[in-house]
Amino acid sequence: MFELAEAFSQFVVGQTGARGAKVIEFEKLSGGAIQDNFGLSLQIEGGERPGLQELVVRQDAPSGVAESLSRPEEFRVLEAAFKAGVTVPEPLWLCEDLDVSGQLFYVMTRADGSASPRKLVKSDLTVEQRRNIVRRLGAELAKLHTVRPPVRSLDFLTLPGQDGAALSRVAIYRRHLREMAEPHPVLEWALNWLEDNTPEPGPAVLCHCDFRTGNYMMAGENLTAILDWEFAAWSDPAEDLGWFCSRSWRFGAHEREAGGVGEKQDFLDGYREAGGTEVDPTAVSYWEVMALVRWAMIALQQARRHISGEQRSLELALTGRMVAQMEYDLLTQIQELEGDQ
Amino acid sequence: MINKPDIHDLLTEARRVLMNSLTPELKGEHKYEALMIANAMGMAIRELGQGEQAKVEEADRAVSAFLEARSEPHHHAECEAFLAEAIRERRLDGGDEALRNLLRTLTEARLGINSPGYLKR
């Protein structure tokens, strides 16, 4: 660990033109199976960023499985989000030289607070505070969704097919499901429903694609940073809105549809009032169903990594047994949506 | 061969010791790991138990009967695969209330083993 801290420190010295830097603290942060995140406090002498610097280094884990963006791609997305005014850690420097630490990594500023979903969901907030938080989160997405293709620095992101983001997703999930050894009739049924109920596609915008409680940092009632950009893609704005409201991401507070924190209407109002694309609430509900299917697909793939022996892990194995929860929620949600019509 | 106490009993007791004696003493990552082990053991206990197993078998029989009634090809051991295929190929009406109830029965049988708390929400 000491050598790694020194390697990162020297890299920062080189980037900032400093005379030197002393490592005050270095620790591995929790979370992330695909990436390692390190907290790095440096006392920097001279250069562009003198003084105490609280930083985070994010690099590929040795056993990294890359179905998501690479570190350099993620860095570009973070830069685009930062430029659009989204509350993210400031992306500072990307290192593509494997000789420095053995992996690709980038350095960003460290945000205060906690990303713990349970802590936030269970915290003693007033109705007003809850409203403010979800409105703010909606407004953040509105800013992100102002980034639209083409953007030269994001040319690695693929565009949805001609039929729109929803049907592109359905086609991918059908393929994934065919590759599974075991049958999943509920997911087949839900994919048919998604194919038959596709809303009018929205414009292609930069979507976070994992925007949910647990992936943003809060210091008390203040949002300090939106994290985990490795699934970002050009997609339909309603995808981010639906993912946030999905039943899977309410952490026990099922009645609070917006991330287990607040009301869905407040979240959507925050989005609209901050200049977000006009989004039909039925499209958001549709993408909530898509979110359940997507999470089930991710869980099945995680379980397969365990079952195949590629990565034996109790956590991955248990995730496979969670799929029935998504299936149960799909049956309930679709029934409710049809009842509303 | 009679081998007492039976495996259901052994696992139940082992899980009780894990939850009551060990887990309260653990912190951080180790506590999380202990809870995951308890979770996996709980599933094994329920899967071995007669009550939940009966529900699984009942659900499988319901799938067979459903496919039989609609003259869908099937054989009992893999009836869920036949059901999935018939849905994927759109030979069954997704809006059919009987199909939805069947899917719910299957899902509830699985949840009864994997996470019974989810059904009580």
**DSSP assignment of A182-199:** S--HHHHHHHHHHHHTPP
Per-residue pLDDT tens digits for A68-85: 899 999 999 999 999 999
Instruction: Give B86→chain A minimum CA distance, Å.
Output: 9
* Mean pLDDT, residues A177-200: 96
Domain that holds residue B99: 52-121
- Say whether both B34 and B87 belong to one domain: no
- Say whether both B68 and B35 belong to one domain: no
The structural domain count of chain B equals: 2
With the C-alpha atoms ordered A95, A101, A102, A108, is the resulting torsion angle positive or negative? negative
* Mean pLDDT, residues B42-71: 94
Instruction: Give B80→chain A minimum CA distance, Å.
Output: 6
Q: Which residue in chain B has the smallest CA separation from A330?
A: B104
Q: Which residue in chain A has the smallest CA separation from B95?
A: A193
Predicted confidence at residue A36, as pLDDT, reads 86
Q: How confident is the model at residue A63 (pLDDT cuts 50, 70, 90)?
A: low
- Say whether both B83 and B58 belong to one domain: yes
Per-residue pLDDT tens digits for A232-279: 999 999 999 999 999 999 999 999 999 999 999 999 999 999 998 888
- Say whether both B58 and B117 belong to one domain: yes
- Say whether both B92 and B113 belong to one domain: yes
Strands, E assignment, chain A = 20-29, 35-45, 51-60, 91-95, 105-109, 205-207, 216-219, 222-226, 233-235
A14, A1, A259, A185: which is closest to B106 by C-alpha? A185
Between B120 and A157, whose confidence is greater?
A157
How many CB pairs below 8 Å do chains A and B form together? 71
- Say whether both B13 and B38 belong to one domain: yes
User: Which of B37, B40, B111 is facing A324, going by the closest CB pair?
Assistant: B111
Q: Which domains does chain A have, with CATH numbers?
A: 2-109 (3.30.200.20), 117-340 (3.90.1200.10)
Predicted confidence at residue A65, as pLDDT, reads 52
- Say whether both B75 and B39 belong to one domain: no
Query: What burial letters (b/e) apply to A75-112, b meaning 16+ CB within 10 Å?
Result: bbbbbbbbebebbbbebbbbbeeeebbebbbbbbbbbe
Give the pair of three-digit tokens for residue A21: 């830097």
- Say whether both B29 and B44 belong to one domain: yes
- Say whether both B72 and B113 belong to one domain: yes
- Say whether both B58 and B92 belong to one domain: yes
User: Which of A192, A314, A318 is facing B94, going by the closest CB pair?
Assistant: A192
- Say whether both B41 and B57 belong to one domain: no
Residues of A in contact with B55 (CB under 8 A): none
Residues of B in contact with A328 (CB under 8 A): 104, 107-108, 111, 118-119
Indicate the pTM of the whole model.
Answer: 0.94
- Say whether both B114 and B77 belong to one domain: yes
Predicted confidence at residue B74, as pLDDT, reads 82
Does residue A66 have a pLDDT over 60?
A: no
Start-to-end C-alpha separation, chain A: 58
Predicted confidence at residue A273, as pLDDT, reads 96
